[in-house]
Structure 1
Amino acid sequence: MVNETYFTVWHIVYATVMIPTVFGNGLILYSVAKFPRLRSNIHILIANLAFSDLIVGAVLIPTDMLSDIFGWKSKKYVCLACLGFFVLSLGSSCFSLLLVSVERYIVICFPFRARTLLTKPKMVFMISFGWVLVAVNSTLPFYGVNTFTNSSAECVRNVVWPEAYQLYCDWILICGLIVTFTFYMIVVRIALKKARMRNSIGGKTEYNVHTKAQTDLHHVITMVIVLGTFVICWLPYVILSFIVTFWDTPTFQFVKRCTLIPGLFNSAINWLIYGYRNNELRKAFRTILKCKFCNKDSNRPTSNAAAIYTSGNSVF
């Protein structure tokens, strides 16, 4: 009875996370694909991060739910696949945030050379390199780096992964978060300094929201919010995973499982942050949803969408 209640609660949590995750991140990807104005480097990186979140809602959660329902986790490669998708989505999200910090640093520090330093081919290469690196790390257990046996009672990382691989995954994530956070703090400091210098030259006592410096600062603050949300949601799980590696008890396992909930919800709320902070994405969301649910004329939304993007500058 306890097990049935436990799995029922988890499936409710999964369903609650899965629906907004698939809807919101799918909306971001559709917006970037539909509107050419959303093909800038920052929007491409947002779409890349949204794809990482989409994996959680469209692949990881359904696979885990079906494995619980049908008992597939007792099979070796299904168990390894569930854990592998988890590493893939979490690692790719962390790497995507790092790429955003690098992009913001170049745009703010080298505004006149940013387009040559960050060309589309270079962006594609960096994104592809990140996905290949994370994919290799997440599939190592398939190549023998596992301790899975037919007698394994649970499909959890401390049972089917060697201790060295567990520590490797934890330290890669922790170091990645530290580097990314440090990079963001440097970028915020530079953006603030440039905004103040521009206002000082203009003889103004308040920030001018129409200046490029202020827009750049707005960009950075948005991504700092995204990064902060990511750290708040995932750091407890990473810390508990690190503790369980050395002190594995049923209590720690249960607490670690509970800390996974805010981590999963992180994938369901990022698109809300973008929609609130990014003016162009917000317009795209409204246009798409209006086209789907409110406008009876299927030809009119295209012209309306085009009209929206023919005026005004981007305010991220």
Structure 2
Amino acid sequence: MMNTTMDTLIVTPTMDPHGTPPAVVVWCVLLVILAVISVIGNVLVLGTLWHAWTNVGTKPGNFLAFMLAVADLLNTLINLPLVIVGVINSQWALHDNTPLRMAHFFFLILLSGTSNMMLCVISINRYAVVAKPNTSEKVGRTRARNLTLYAWCHALGTAVVSIAIWGVMDSTGVGSLHHYVPPFPSQVLSYALAVGAPMAVMTVTYVRLFKRVKMRLRAVGAKKCNVACTESHMASQSVVQDAPSVFGAVKAHNMILARPNKHPTRHADLRTAVTLLILLGIFVLCWTPIVVLSLLVTFQDVADAQNYLTAAAVIVFVIPACNPLVYSMRNAQFRAAAMDFLVTARERLPSQCCRRAKQGTSDTAQGEANQEAVG
């Protein structure tokens, strides 16, 4: 009798997982808004860089920004709809279907982990630029490609191993206390490698970057020197020029983003470091709730766990929506480049429509002429 009662408690949680219709509507609206912002922002970043790929797209910082936007866009398009479906069905992460749960968890680790690792490798690249500002662009491109490959391999390995552990535990009958969260070992491994490791590396590199830039600014301010040939100015210029969120002057309507030929302001490199620290703060604030809550729910019942997990998921998807706004749109040169890209795309769209309309008219006229000739 006691064993039956314990099994019932384990299989059927005490809280009601079904959300009220108003709550479902609110969560769905918030998720759709985040999806729209993320898609528009990341598509704009990708379009702006792709349109000028031959000029600046291969530069290390811009290449990493491009790959970050790719990871964020895929994360939004694949994972966020699954969360919306789960909210509509009042089933967190489709917990009644184990294969779907495992597939959702796999893509969540893969794409979210890739996005996190891209932020991590961007921080490493920024620190490398500050530490060795005179490194050749060829070396920088190789470093950026290797870091990008490592980010994807790291996230893929984490996802595969986490799902393998989950499958072994599920086959042996050792599952989680609640069906709507993965087993504890899978959570620990995925959070440690896909969230904890990038967070630790970003914290160390961003803090060291901030200290280096601050010391450099003090040295430049003490010397009161703006000569472009000094080592401090060259290092500061390298931080600004090579940063993914900082682009050079924009030639109107041809999307050529060149390196700036004017002396950067004293606080330009400090602004870059502050931007990176803002990203780190967003990362920590958005991932902490779901990590703590999912681990807590693994061991004990939590009242209204469904709503809390949904809110935590909404917070996580704030990251891909904020990355384009903070990392690219915050820069005036990139905003100008994005506006130029939009103007160019707007000018091309009517011309293509006109060509298609003319082609359709000519095809119709040709068809009528052929019919008359046959008649």
Structure 2 length normalisation: TM-score? 0.68
Contact 2:67-2:118 within 8 A present in 1 as well: yes
State the SS of the aligned residue for 2:166: coil
Bigger relative contact order, structure 1 or 2 (CA pairs below 8 A, ≥6 apart): 2
Contact 1:29-1:50 within 8 A present in 2 as well: yes
Q: Distance in 2 between matches of 1:274 and 1:2?
A: 36
- Post-superposition Cα deviations, 1:166-214, rounded to whole Å, max 9, x if no partner, equal 122223322431221121000110011112212322358xx99934874
Q: Distance in 2 between matches of 1:98 and 1:260?
A: 21
Q: Distance in 2 between matches of 1:41 and 1:64?
A: 34
* Structure 1 counterpart of 2:75, one-letter code: V
Which segment drifts farther, 268-277 or 243-252? 243-252
1:171 to 187, 192, 195: 192
- The match for 2:208 is 186
Uncovered stretches (5+) of structure 1, i.e. residues with no partner: 300-316
Contact 1:31-1:38 within 8 A present in 2 as well: no
- Does 2:243 correspond to 1:243? no
- Does 2:60 correspond to 1:41? yes
Q: Distance in 1 between matches of 2:83 and 2:59?
A: 35
Q: Distance in 1 between matches of 2:349 and 2:152?
A: 41
Change (3 A) 1:197 1:244: same
- The match for 2:78 is 59
Q: Distance in 2 between matches of 1:59 and 1:10?
A: 18
Q: Distance in 2 between matches of 1:236 and 1:216?
A: 32
- Does 2:98 correspond to 1:81? no
- Does 2:27 correspond to 1:27? no
* Structure 1 counterpart of 2:117, one-letter code: F
Question: Deviation of residue 2 (structure 1)?
Answer: 4.2
Question: Deviation of residue 94 (structure 1)?
Answer: 1.8
When the two structures are aligned, how many residues end up with a matched partner? 293
1:288 to 338, 341, 345: 341
- The match for 2:147 is 126
- The match for 2:28 is 11
Mapping of 1:255-266 within 5 angstroms? 255-266=308-319
Question: Deviation of residue 13 (structure 1)?
Answer: 2.1
Which segment drifts farther, 93-102 or 173-182? 173-182
Q: Distance in 2 between matches of 1:153 and 1:26?
A: 40
Q: Distance in 1 between matches of 2:105 and 2:323?
A: 23
Which segment drifts farther, 68-77 or 231-240? 68-77
Contact 2:39-2:76 within 8 A present in 1 as well: yes
Q: Distance in 1 between matches of 2:70 and 2:116?
A: 12
Uncovered stretches (5+) of structure 2, i.e. residues with no partner: 1-17, 227-232, 237-261, 353-375
- The match for 1:231 is 284
* Structure 1 counterpart of 2:299, one-letter code: F
- The match for 1:314 is none
Which segment drifts farther, 62-71 or 262-271? 62-71
- The match for 2:180 is 156
Where does structure 1 differ by over 6 angstroms across 4 or more consecutive aligned residues? 149-154, 294-297
Question: Deviation of residue 279 (structure 1)?
Answer: 3.1
Please, what is the CA RMSD of the aligned residues? 3.3
Q: How many percent identity over aligned positions?
A: 21
Q: Distance in 2 between matches of 1:296 and 1:32?
A: 19
Contact 1:107-1:114 within 8 A present in 2 as well: no
Which segment drifts farther, 64-73 or 3-12? 64-73
- The match for 1:309 is none
Question: Deviation of residue 242 (structure 1)?
Answer: 3.1
Q: Distance in 2 between matches of 1:145 and 1:296?
A: 49
Contact 2:290-2:312 within 8 A present in 1 as well: yes
Which segment drifts farther, 144-153 or 264-273? 144-153
- The match for 1:312 is none
Mapping of 1:109-148 within 5 angstroms? 109-113=131-135, 115=137, 117-118=139-140, 120-143=141-164, 145-146=166-167, 147-148=169-170
Contact 1:22-1:57 within 8 A present in 2 as well: yes
Change (3 A) 1:154 1:57: farther
Change (3 A) 1:114 1:220: farther
- The match for 2:326 is 273
* Structure 2 counterpart of 1:246, one-letter code: F
Structure 1 length normalisation: TM-score? 0.79
Contact 1:230-1:266 within 8 A present in 2 as well: yes
Change (3 A) 1:145 1:178: same
* Structure 1 counterpart of 2:217, one-letter code: A
Contact 2:199-2:284 within 8 A present in 1 as well: yes
Decide which structure has the larger Cα Rg and report it: 2
